[in-house]
Amino acid sequence: MPYIKYPDSNSFAQICQRPSLNAQSLDEIIEGIFKQVEIKSDQALRDFTLQFEKREIDSILYTEEEIKIFADQVPEALKQAIQQAYSNIYTFHKSQEFISQKTETSPGVICWQKASAIEKVGIYIPGGTAPLFSTILMLAIPAQIAGCREIVLCTPAIHPAIFYSAQLCGITKMAKVGGAQAIAALALGTESIPKVFKIFGPGNQYVTAAKMFANRKGVAIDMPAGPSEVAVYADSTANPAYVAADLLSQAEHGVDSQVFLVALDETFIFNVQEELERQVNVLERKDLAKMSLANSKIVLVKDRSEAVQLLNEYAAEHLILACEKPEELADNIYNAGSIFLGNYTPEAAGDYASGTNHTLPTNGFAKAYSGVNLGSFQKIITLQSISQSGLQHLGSSIIQMAEAESLQAHANAVAIRIKNPS
């Protein structure tokens, strides 16, 4: 891993830059895929699946019987693990339920809010070398709790745990398609796949570009996203072997994943580097991990305060605080997707089963975006109720403001009620 020693704080923004994707070069490809899906519907999905994946599909959707056959192939031990994760994720997201409260803003004027589920949501799970069935739990469970009427899953993956997780989470439709064409299908609708109102889930640069394109077409998405990442802050109380394991757990995702170590002690950094050399060579995905590490960074800083400044600038998707008094330090972190406190809280716990959501903002978007939560599957609708006396009390202010904005009809809508109460 490239090593940066005692950088000047003026260089922090440059140090935190991620590799950039040329989204503009993808737009023409993505627009072409969307046009074909719009014109040819299901047939376009068949054609693109054959073209991009060398895979022939007849029916677009899995039948209930097909889902059951795949789901039944999951070993009992894995089923129990998934069930435990389901329970923890459900419990944490259930605790986020919106509590409505009426407020009297002035005499006779009552305002409040209510949460309303997004009726139709789409979930995308990539194929690739890692079958991300855990992401189904992270997205479908809060959708269930929110009360989404239709949850549509698109994935080219065929790992049995994908089907078991979908069955467990009450997925209403499961499609065999992947890639940008799956995003286009969810955004536009086809004969088999219903148009949804919001799309969730990870994917490669084509999927990411397709989601951004869908967003420009008026379909909501979970968040802008780039490759997955982790930052670790470590002081002298951290365990170098643990830190190396955490860095590698992120690096094995893929060559474009980034890991970022911020430390106070050079000897500790050397110990981590030794552990990385030792641990990476026993990984099945060691080639991917090594390429990822080559694109990552280790930064030696002078003190805790400088570390906080650098970490807030980086705005990591995952941030591990392997240090003394991690909760106290976390109070000063305001840019991060999810924070993992102490030496016994690996990022992998949040990825799978602690209960928090692992669908998080990457690429610095944690400066402005939250990770997926129950509210991601809901809209908050405001309500208000005004009595006759309440409007009498408030009316003069409304009329004066409307007239000052030259919106006479607005003023009249209030004045007519005050002058002629029914």
| Residues labelled catalytic | 317-318
Q: Is 371 helix (H, G, I), strand (E, B) or coil?
A: coil
Check the annotation: does 86 bind a ligand: no
Quick one: how far is CA 148 from the chain centroid? 18
Check the annotation: does 334 bind a ligand: no
Check the annotation: does 351 bind a ligand: yes
Determine contact, residues 263/237, Cβ cutoff 8 Å. no
Determine contact, residues 363/226, Cβ cutoff 8 Å. yes
Q: 282-316: string of b/e by CB count within 10 Å (b at 16+)?
A: eeebeebbbebbebbbbbbbeebebbbebbbbbbb
Hey, what's the torsion of the CAs at 62, 59, 201, 86, to 10 degrees? 0
Check the annotation: does 93 bind a ligand: no
- C-alpha distances (whole Å) from 27 to each of 32, 80, 165, 212, 293 are 8, 43, 33, 10, 29
CA distance 318 to 350: 9
Number of Cβ within a 10 Å radius of residue 242: 18
Rg of the chain taking only CA atoms, in angstroms: 25
- Beta bridge pairs of residue 154: 124, 175
Check the annotation: does 318 bind a ligand: yes
Q: Which uninterrupted H or E stretch holds 297? A: strand 297-300
Rounded (10°) angle between helices 266-280 and 286-294 = 150
Check the annotation: does 410 bind a ligand: yes
Q: Rounded to 5 degrees, what are φ and ψ at 314?
A: -70, -35
- Residue 258, classified by CB atoms within 10 Å of its CB into exposed (0-12), middle (13-18) or buried (19+), is buried
Give the residue ranges of the annotated binding site. 124, 181, 204, 228, 250, 253, 318, 351, 405, 410
Give the residue ranges of the annotated binding site for substrate. 228, 250, 253, 318, 351, 405, 410
Give the residue ranges of the annotated binding site for Zn(2+). 250, 253, 351, 410
Give the residue ranges of the annotated binding site for NAD(+). 124, 181, 204
